[in-house]
Amino acid sequence: MTTYRTAGVDLDAAAHVKELFKPHVRSTFGPQVLGDIGFFGGLFHLQGYRDPVLVATTDGVGTKVKLAIWMDRFDTLGHDVVNQSVNDVLATGARPLFFLDYIAVETLVPHQVEAIVKGIAEACRQVGCALLGGETAQMRGVYLPGHFDLAGFMVGAAERDKLLDPSTVQEGDTLLALPSSGLHTNGYSLVRAVFGLEADQSPLKAYRQELGRTLGEALLEPHRSYWPLLEPVLPIIRSMAHITGGGLEDNLARAMPKGLAGHIDRDSWEVPAIFRIIQARGDIPDQEMERVFNMGVGMVLACAPEHAAEVRRLLPEAWVVGAVGRGRQQA
């Protein structure tokens, strides 16, 4: 006898998982969330805006999921998938409103999915964002045994006249940086190749004195969220770049008009140890490192020079990383 379960989809396990993560999801609900878990769509009552613009973004955590599987730790992935979307929405000047997740698995393992959703809910609560819904798909035959994928979708909002506008960036503007918490969610395919992790995962368990923890723990450090840290400075900056894949050069170009470029002082910060370890192990050229990794810079803000001191007062960990000039990006 052939059943859905023998074909690879366990409906009973799916129902059990939904019961496990309901408390986590409900913990993110505020008065703007209408209804409860289980309807065909999440309902969100948009309030408090005169002329709202909705901002939407979507992303996944890439092959960082493989390190989580090898390390048997899944809660940090929930923070990754939320925070990277929070930062993308924030780069427009918008406040995150609600988030939806998509988890596709080869075989449903309830405690793994619960840990991921718990992490998602924690990250949502930290930024005042509702976890409005999601989907857990069992896809045997598509993914390798024991593997899964994770993606997320976020909607934020801002007053139209409060949106950050890259076209307003001017020559001579000051660029200020905020540190990343590590690799965030980019470059893990290169990391796996450099350390030969497909064949041997033991390097992940090795303690590194310069990191103060194992390599695997450092690599699983969650993608940092910059909301609500940056909320107070939004009125006095012109633009913002979330430094993800493509590094400083590509992402700064997205945050200013054509003809202008970010001129970066590489001596203004010390590259964190995790990047130096990866580069040394793989003998990776500087240019390649700069294209793949954030190199310790998570966000870059552009503001008028007369506002730089105020930004630094509000953000003590920020530093002047460069200035806006003519020509090509220099990093």
CA dist., res. 295 & res. 265, Å (int):
13
Instruction: Specify the DSSP class assigned to residue 167.
Output: G
| In the chain, beta strands by DSSP E | 33-34, 43-44, 52-60, 95-105, 130-138, 148-159, 174-179, 207-208, 213-214, 239-242, 260-264, 297-303, 319-326
165 contact partners, CB below 8 Å, separation of at least 6: 238, 239
The pair of structure tokens assigned to 314 is: 């509000």
pLDDT, average across residues 80-90: 98
8 A C-beta contact, residue 267 and residue 326: no
CA dist., res. 248 & res. 290, Å (int):
7
Burial class (CB in 10 A: 0-12, 13-18, 19+), 55: buried
**Start and end residues for every CATH 3.30.1330.10 domain found in the chain:** 11-162
pLDDT (tens digit, 9 = 90+) per residue, 214-269? 999 999 999 999 999 999 999 999 999 999 999 999 999 999 999 999 999 999 99
pLDDT at 176 exceeding the cut of 90: yes
Give CA torsion, residues 157, 166, 79, 125, to 10 deg. Answer: -30
Compute the mean pLDDT over every residue in the chain, rounded to the nearest whole number: 95
pLDDT (tens digit, 9 = 90+) per residue, 291-309? 999 999 999 999 999 999 9
pLDDT of residue 80: 98
pLDDT at 210 exceeding the cut of 80: yes
pLDDT, average across residues 10-39: 91
Q: Return the CATH class of domain 11-162.
A: alpha beta
Instruction: Specify the DSSP class assigned to residue 68.
Output: H
pLDDT, average across residues 32-40: 90
User: Considering just the CA atoms, what is the radius of gyration of the chain in Å?
Assistant: 21
First to last CA, the chain: 63
Q: How far is CA 196 from CA 87, 186, 190, 201, 274, in A?
A: 31, 17, 10, 8, 16
CATH architecture of 166-326: Alpha-Beta Complex (3.90)
The pair of structure tokens assigned to 56 is: 């939407």
Q: Above pLDDT 90, what percent of the chain?
A: 91
- Reference 10, options 136, 97, 117; nearest CA is 136
Q: Going by DSSP bridges, is the β-strand pair 130-138/95-105 parallel, antiparallel, or unpaired?
A: parallel
pLDDT of residue 2: 85
The pair of structure tokens assigned to 312 is: 């630094």
pLDDT, average across residues 67-76: 95
Cα angle for residues 306, 308, 311 (degrees, 5° grid):
130
| Total-model pTM | 0.94
- Label residue 84 by pLDDT band (50, 70, 90): very high
pLDDT at 102 exceeding the cut of 90: yes
Phi, psi (rounded to 5 degrees) for 187: 95, 10
pLDDT of residue 328: 65
- Label residue 8 by pLDDT band (50, 70, 90): confident
**Start and end residues for every CATH 3.90.650.10 domain found in the chain:** 166-326
Alpha helices in 91-141, H assignment, sequence order: 110-126
pLDDT at 329 exceeding the cut of 80: no
Which residue bears the tokens 């024991």? 146
CA dist., res. 263 & res. 148, Å (int):
40
pLDDT of residue 64: 98
pLDDT at 112 exceeding the cut of 80: yes
3-state DSSP call for residue 6? coil
pLDDT, average across residues 150-162: 98
- Label residue 330 by pLDDT band (50, 70, 90): low
pLDDT of residue 108: 93
Cα angle for residues 222, 225, 229 (degrees, 5° grid):
145
pLDDT of residue 297: 98
